[in-house]
């Protein structure tokens, strides 16, 4: 005979109770007996199926309205204006079946409607109130992701480049036209041969001192600007990134001053015809986001005035003299890209909005859908199955965690725009790279999980998972490829690590490493490694310590490996040899930052019932992440075998507890039906099947 353990139903803390299994029993017989217990449980085994009795606790009470008020924050009103406008304009709703060209025109009408009819002027907030701007982006993205991206191209990229890379003369000349959509524009950085490696772009802008102009040239096919939003149909201007070439006194010799940004008109403001020297072609039908008109641009010696150089970080005088407050090409390039970080902030924030929609649809359907059940009993909700909880509840917890992390990122970004503090600039740059990469990758995977969790009905286009998945997929690539961005995070961590051991201090986001690096250098405590009580496992200190320990261990071991391999492979070869290790390090750090933000958000929540709900969700997020990487903790004896089992069991139990309040948690996202637009995801579950059958013609 052998023994196994089950949770005792008689205590709030974990106790163990034995039951016996016959070692000589045939596997087939044992399997049949186990299945019979599930279908017709005896009193002694019913506790295995009734997780409620594991702790004897009643279902948590959650006020969805109060929780929603805390989540939505101070910009709820502007988002509701967006929702109300589109609810009043059914003609602007995107149909399921629409041709590419029609979709692009509809998307343009949607944008014009928001700005000119609804009177919402996002450009005013790009610098003055970034958190309000990103709230608008999230709301319009809920209407249609193509609309969110088109609005972002106009105001974040084209408009943002003028505001952030130009000077007063540019703002005075272009602000009003960008704001009211008279000056529709593009952001022309990516080329056919270069995307992530911006310093490798080949378009050139040569200064002509005779005419006081820059000559914009595409020297070869590889330098054609590619995937340029707004270029194929609607754009009239483009911010073109090109290498600034200055002639010397010997006009046959030019000096490369590095990548700069130039305002280049591409279409006539009155006739909308393509201007001389500019060639525009359509990038065609895409996997998603077909409401955005992506095009390719070639420039054949296009002349622009010298004033069209966006000259905040470098300028050229009438006589061809170059001046800059920054001494090197690399510093100017870093400053230029640093000012464009708002795009990454917006994508991270918007990706959470997409995840909220998908989670809402999948969880509401899972509460509605009933399949199977005990003999002679009603069918049960598919969310009552542990497997469905395992798919969706950690995802719901992550959605909440990402919400607070990206809200904090937006606040940091807004503070950075006001203060221009150098340390904060560096912090936001690294944090936005990490969160954009981590959140968009997680959301992309989750969209497929949500589709699968909804079975055949999830495959219907009307229930949106297909369009959400296709439209969001590119979030992992534009504004920085996710793998490249994680390497930036890892590089910053290693830089901080090296400076620490030279007597320096850590940047704001890395403060926790001061203590946890010292902890890593000591052996794990064999006593705490075995603690398995629920109070201990749900203690934020234990959770944060575990996350920080993992990051510190990965950082220290990465530094050792890089030093070792650099001796034989050189710095580039060593980095490539350790690349997967470095990506894991970056993800671990970002997970730690996310947990920190979640814990702080719980402390700041004014409503007690909302605080309790958020604490439950946060515990699930933390313990699920620890369990997912339990091998790391076991390898170094940070967690003993008994503690690992306790973490797993508690994470499953917390998934069940979160399931009990899942309806309230998704309702707190406060997404109206005209925004989710999926029959199976309606707020009133009783209407879901009715609307669905009506949709197909019954």
Active-site positions?
A: 479
DSSP label at residue 157:
I
CA dist list (Å): 386 to 119, 182, 378, 382, 661: 48, 54, 18, 9, 15
Distance CA 692, CA 684 (A): 13
Distance CA 628, CA 648 (A): 9
Length of the chain: 698
Distance CA 447, CA 359 (A): 8
**Which residue in the block uniquely carries the two structure tokens 């928001």?**
114
Helices then strands, each counted (H, E), the chain: 26, 13
CA distance 138 to 530: 44
Cβ-proximal residues to 360 (8 Å cutoff; 6+ apart), any chain:
666, 669, 671, 676, 681
CA–CA dist 14, 572 (Å, integer)? 50
Say if strands 2-7 and 16-21 run parallel, antiparallel, or are unpaired.
antiparallel
Alpha-carbon gap, residue 597 to 78, rounded angstroms: 25
Asked if 428 and 419 touch (Cβ cutoff 8 Å), the reply is no
Residue 55 token pair: 């702790």
Decide the pairing of beta strands 237-247 and 185-188.
parallel
Q: 479: alpha, beta or left, given left = phi > 0 and alpha = psi -120 to 50?
A: left
Q: Which residues of 391-423 are buried (b: 16+ CB within 10 A; e: fewer)?
A: bbbbbbbbbbbbbbbbbbbbebbbebbeeeeee
What is the C-alpha separation between 464 and 675, in angstroms, rounded?
A: 11
Question: CA–CA separation, 242 vs 188, rounded Å?
Answer: 9
Q: Are 206 and 217 in contact (CB under 8 A)?
A: yes
Cβ neighbors of 556 (< 8 A, separation 6 or more) are 497, 517, 520, 521
Give yes or no for a contact between 555 and 506, defined as CB atoms under 8 angstroms apart.
no
Residues of 608-633 as b/e, b for ≥16 C-beta within 10 angstroms?
A: ebbbbbbbbbbbbbbbbbbbebbebb
Residues with Cβ within 8 Å of 363's Cβ and at least 6 positions away in sequence, in order, are 383, 392, 396, 662, 663, 665, 666
């Amino acid at each position: 005979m052998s023994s196994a353990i089950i949770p005792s139903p008689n205590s709030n803390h974990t106790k163990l109770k034995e039951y016996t299994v016959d070692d000589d029993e045939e596997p087939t017989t044992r399997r049949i007996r186990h299945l019979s217990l599930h279908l017709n449980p005896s009193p002694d085994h019913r506790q295995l199926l009734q997780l409620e009795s594991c702790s004897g606790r009643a279902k948590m009470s959650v006020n969805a309205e109060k929780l929603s008020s805390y989540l939505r924050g101070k910009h709820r009103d502007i988002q509701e204006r967006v929702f109300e406008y589109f609810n009043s304009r059914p003609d602007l709703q995107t149909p399921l079946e629409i041709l590419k060209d029609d979709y692009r025109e509809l998307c343009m009408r949607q944008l014009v409607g928001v700005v000119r009819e609804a009177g919402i002027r996002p450009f005013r907030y790009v610098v003055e109130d970034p958190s309000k701007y990103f709230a608008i982006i999230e709301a319009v993205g809920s209407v249609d992701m193509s609309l969110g991206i088109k609005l972002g191209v106009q105001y974040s990229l084209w408009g943002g480049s003028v505001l952030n890379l130009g000077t007063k003369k540019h703002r005075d000349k272009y602000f009003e036209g960008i704001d009211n959509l008279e000056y529709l524009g593009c952001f022309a950085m990516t080329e056919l041969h270069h995307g992530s490696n911006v310093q490798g772009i080949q378009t050139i802008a040569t200064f002509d001192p005779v005419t006081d102009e820059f000559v914009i040239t595409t020297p070869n096919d590889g330098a054609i600007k590619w995937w340029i939003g707004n270029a194929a149909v609607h754009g009239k201007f483009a911010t073109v990134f090109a290498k600034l070439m200055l002639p010397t006194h010997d006009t046959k010799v030019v000096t490369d001053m590095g990548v700069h940004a130039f305002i280049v008109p591409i279409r006539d403001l009155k006739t909308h015809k393509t201007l001389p020297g500019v060639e525009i072609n359509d990038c065609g039908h895409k996997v998603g986001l077909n409401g955005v008109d992506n095009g390719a641009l070639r420039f054949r010696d296009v002349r622009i005035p010298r004033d069209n150089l966006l000259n905040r970080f470098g300028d050229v005088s009438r006589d061809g003299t170059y001046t800059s407050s920054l001494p090197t090409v690399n510093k100017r390039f870093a400053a230029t890209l640093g000012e464009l970080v708002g795009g990454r902030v917006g994508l991270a924030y918007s990706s959470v909005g997409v995840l909220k929609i998908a989670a809402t649809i999948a969880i509401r359907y899972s509460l509605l859908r009933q399949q199977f059940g005990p003999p002679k009993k009603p069918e049960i909700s598919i969310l009552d199955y542990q497997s469905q909880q395992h798919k969706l509840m950690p995802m719901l917890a992550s959605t909440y965690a990402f919400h607070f992390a990206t809200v904090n990122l937006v606040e940091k970004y807004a503070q950075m725009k006001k203060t221009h503090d150098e340390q904060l600039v560096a912090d936001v740059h690294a944090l936005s790279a990490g969160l954009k990469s981590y959140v968009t990758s997680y959301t992309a995977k989750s969209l497929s999980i949500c589709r699968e969790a909804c079975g055949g009905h999830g495959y219907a286009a009307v229930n949106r998972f297909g369009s959400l998945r296709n439209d969001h997929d590119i979030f992992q690539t534009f504004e920085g490829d996710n793998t490249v961005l994680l390497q930036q995070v890892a590089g910053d961590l290693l830089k901080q690590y090296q400076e620490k051991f030279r007597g320096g201090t850590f940047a704001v986001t890395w403060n926790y490493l001061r203590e946890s690096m010292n902890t890593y250098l000591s052996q794990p405590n064999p006593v705490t490694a075995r603690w398995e009580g629920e109070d201990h496992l749900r203690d934020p200190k234990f959770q944060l310590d575990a996350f920080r320990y993992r990051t510190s261990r990965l950082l220290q071991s990465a530094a050792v490996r890089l030093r070792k391999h650099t001796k034989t492979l050189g710095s580039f070869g060593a980095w490539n040899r350790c690349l997967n290790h470095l990506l894991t390090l970056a993800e671990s750090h970002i997970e730690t930052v996310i947990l920190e933000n979640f814990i702080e958000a719980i402390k700041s929540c004014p409503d007690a019932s909302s605080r309790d709900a958020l604490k439950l969700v946060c515990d699930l997020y933390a313990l699920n992440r620890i369990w997912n990487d339990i091998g790391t903790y076991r390898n170094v004896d940070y967690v003993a075998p008994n503690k690992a089992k306790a973490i797993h069991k508690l994470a499953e139990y917390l998934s069940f507890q979160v399931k009990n309040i899942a309806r309230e948690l998704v309702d707190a996202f406060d997404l109206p039906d005209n925004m989710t637009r999926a029959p199976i995801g309606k707020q009133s579950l009783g209407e879901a099947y009715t609307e669905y059958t009506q949709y197909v013609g019954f």
